[in-house]
Structure 1
Amino acid sequence: MDRPSAVAQLRAALGRFAAEHGLDGHWCVALSGGPDSLALTAVAAALRPTTAVIVDHRLQAGSHTVAAAARDQALALGCVAAQVVPVEVGVDGGPEAAARAARYAALEQARDGAPVLLGHTLDDQAETVLMGLGRGSGARSIAGMVPYDAPWCRPLLGVRRSVTHAACAELALTPWRDPHNDDPRFTRVRLRAEVLPLLDEVLHGGVAEALARTAAALREDTDALDAIAADVPVETELPVATLTGLPAAVRRRVIRRWLLDGGAAGLSDGQIRSVDALVSAWRGQGGVAVPSAATRSRLFAGRRGEVLTLYREPVAD
């Protein structure tokens, strides 16, 4: 039996995704002009009314020209609308994280209530899992990207990058080749160009698929543990007795939720474990600094008697 064409594979993947998650009516697609998002835009526009949103990060010379070309391609593919959104990219978290934050903020503002299709593929998922492994950030990080986290939709997480490239060729589309995708200064580029090919060679292939399966399995486990932890009530002051009888994996999830509710942000696995030690390895130690969005004070988690508390200390001028 002949294998379906690349376009047919993408159309089937998107159709299954829309049916599974009850997506109907108008949707948006995040279009960079690259092969993954361009192929997704072509398929999406053929299925239902689609608006393309092109975020111009303005990090490269001539980016406005690239964005305008992507807008024209979107309209030629049948999108009902296409808009270019210029953004200012900050510096927090490094260049990749800052660009991502600016991009998602722009998409959130431009989507006008519609779900947003993102062109992440199975290869992107494998790279994300490897990055999570390298950071040692725990199961949540290794679980990779979530297929559906409204309004963000990733219908191609089960599709190899080679399929989106082949779909562009079938449709005679000329995608933009982002020079950043070949720049070894970026961790993801080196994973793509060096690490994954080496792992495929050593392990005799199938590494990207195996990493994606691992992410899916971990995500199921993580979701189940999160659901158990969500049933544990938390207050401003968290009684130690509430935590001591819980399995460690559930206890740390309760602590994470308590910290986030109290104003923490960008928590690492190590920071959560340090706060957890106030319960599991209590020896009278002092408070644990945790990150927050505040700039004039620092947030701490501490133990006072038989409760965990959050408190702030001013930042010295």
Structure 2
Amino acid sequence: MDRPGAVAELRTALTRFLGEHAGTVDRWCVALSGGADSLALTAVAAAVKPTTALIVDHGLQPGSATVADTARAQAIELGCVAAQVLRVDVGTVGGPEAAARSARYHALERARAGTPVLLAHTLDDQAETVLLGLGRGSGARSIAGMRPHDPPWYRPLLRVRRDRTRQACAELGLTPWQDPHNTDPRYTRVRLRTEALPLLEDILGGGVAEALARTAAALREDTDTLDAMAAEVLAGTGPDLPVAVLTPLPAAVRRRVIRGWLLAGGACGLTDQQIRAVDALVTAWRGQGGVAVPSAGAGERLFAGRRGPALVQYREPV
């Protein structure tokens, strides 16, 4: 039997996703860059529900305003009820990729007006994310990849290969924008896409991207279970974290309790190494000082330390 057309495949993926995760949604936004993935998603989304396209102009390349305006016009032609260009200033924290991503998500959050946002991440994007997590040794949470449903963010194409979105654009007669950043080897994700993954596919005989995506799904199930156990423990504590509560817990649950406690206290951008350092205040207590953890507070640093029978958080000026 012939394989169905790419547009039909994307429509099926969106309909299935709608049934699994978004059955009560009556309208949505779609994050549109003008590239093949988001353009194809916009086309099928606009045919299903009232859709507003949100186009983020990062202003990082010459002509970015023209690219954004073209994407806006394409969205209207595809049947979107509205299309809005969001111009942002990209900072430098975390490097260019992380800074652009942070600016983009903040802009989408402000503009979505309480509605869900469809993101056009594909199975290939998921595989790259898992590889990045493996390479950085940042723990199971990172290797578990992107969630299909992480309100307000919805990713209905995580089971669809990237080449199918390009084929869908061709079937629809759409001309997607070719982002030069997607072929720039200065970016880690580009080298994974163009060098590492093709090499792994060759060595292992194909199917690597799908296998990495399946690994992410399995790890998410495990992570969700452990997170739920940790949340139950954390709900029974106060601002200080009793060591007697933490000590009997399995290591995976204990570190999740610590992570949730730190986040509740204002920490952000935590790494596995930092969480393990705080965990050592419980498991390898030798009178050591507090552990500095990143936080959004300006002019001061957040610490986790041990004071007698409990872990406490405190801040000190920079």
What is the TM-score normalised by the length of structure 2?
Answer: 0.98
Seq. identity, %: 75
Q: Which residue of 2 aligns with 1:268?
A: 271
**Separation in structure 2 between the aligned mates of residue 189 and residue 2 of structure 1, nearest angstrom:** 32
Q: Which residue of 1 aligns with 2:10?
A: 10
Secondary structure at 1:302 match in 2 = strand
Q: Which residue of 306, 310, 315 maps to 2:309?
A: 306
Q: 1:261/1:24 Cα in 2 relative to 1: closer, same or farther (>3 Å)?
A: closer
Matched, 1:203 2:204: yes
Give the AA of the match of 1:286: G
How do residues 56-67 of structure 1 correspond to structure 2 at under 5 angstroms? 56-67=57-68
Deviation at 1:2, TM superposition (A): 2.1
Question: What RMSD, in angstroms, separates the aligned Cα atoms of the two structures?
Answer: 0.8
1:243-269 deviation digits (Å, cap 9, x = unpaired): 001000000000001111111111000
**Separation in structure 1 between the aligned mates of residue 119 and residue 299 of structure 2, nearest angstrom:** 36
Secondary structure at 1:231 match in 2 = helix
Secondary structure at 1:144 match in 2 = coil
Q: Which residue of 2 aligns with 1:282?
A: 285
1:29-74 deviation digits (Å, cap 9, x = unpaired): 1000000000000001111211111000000001000000001111
Q: Which residue of 2 aligns with 1:36?
A: 37
Q: Which residue of 238, 253, 256 maps to 2:256?
A: 253
Give the AA of the match of 1:56: D
Secondary structure at 1:272 match in 2 = helix
Give the AA of the match of 1:72: A
Matched, 1:242 2:245: yes
Deviation at 1:4, TM superposition (A): 1.2
Secondary structure at 2:158 match in 1 = coil
Q: Which residue of 2 aligns with 1:164?
A: 165
Q: Which residue of 1 aligns with 2:295?
A: 292
1:246-303 deviation digits (Å, cap 9, x = unpaired): 0000000000011111111110000000000011111111111111111211111111
The aligned length equals: 315
Matched, 1:132 2:133: yes
Q: Mean alpha-carbon deviation: is it higher for 30-39 or for 302-311?
A: 302-311
Aligned residues of 1:88 and 1:102 also touching (Cα < 8 A)? yes
**Separation in structure 1 between the aligned mates of residue 237 and residue 89 of structure 2, nearest angstrom:** 38
Matched, 1:222 2:223: yes
Q: Mean alpha-carbon deviation: is it higher for 232-241 or for 245-254?
A: 232-241
1:147-191 deviation digits (Å, cap 9, x = unpaired): 011110000000000110110111111000000001111000000
How do residues 7-156 of structure 1 correspond to structure 2 at under 5 angstroms? 7-21=7-21, 22-156=23-157
Which structure 2 residue ranges, 5 or more long, are not aligned? none
Secondary structure at 1:47 match in 2 = coil
Give the AA of the match of 1:234: T
**Separation in structure 1 between the aligned mates of residue 220 and residue 269 of structure 2, nearest angstrom:** 19
**Separation in structure 2 between the aligned mates of residue 297 and residue 273 of structure 1, nearest angstrom:** 22
Secondary structure at 1:313 match in 2 = strand
**Separation in structure 2 between the aligned mates of residue 51 and residue 297 of structure 1, nearest angstrom:** 40
Find runs of 4+ consecutive structure 1 residues off by over 3 angstroms: none
**Separation in structure 1 between the aligned mates of residue 305 and residue 151 of structure 2, nearest angstrom:** 34
Deviation at 1:23, TM superposition (A): 4.0
Aligned residues of 1:234 and 1:258 also touching (Cα < 8 A)? no
**Separation in structure 1 between the aligned mates of residue 300 and residue 131 of structure 2, nearest angstrom:** 34
Q: Which residue of 2 aligns with 1:193?
A: 194
Give the AA of the match of 1:108: E
Secondary structure at 1:230 match in 2 = helix
**Separation in structure 1 between the aligned mates of residue 58 and residue 315 of structure 2, nearest angstrom:** 36
Which structure 1 residue ranges, 5 or more long, are not aligned? none
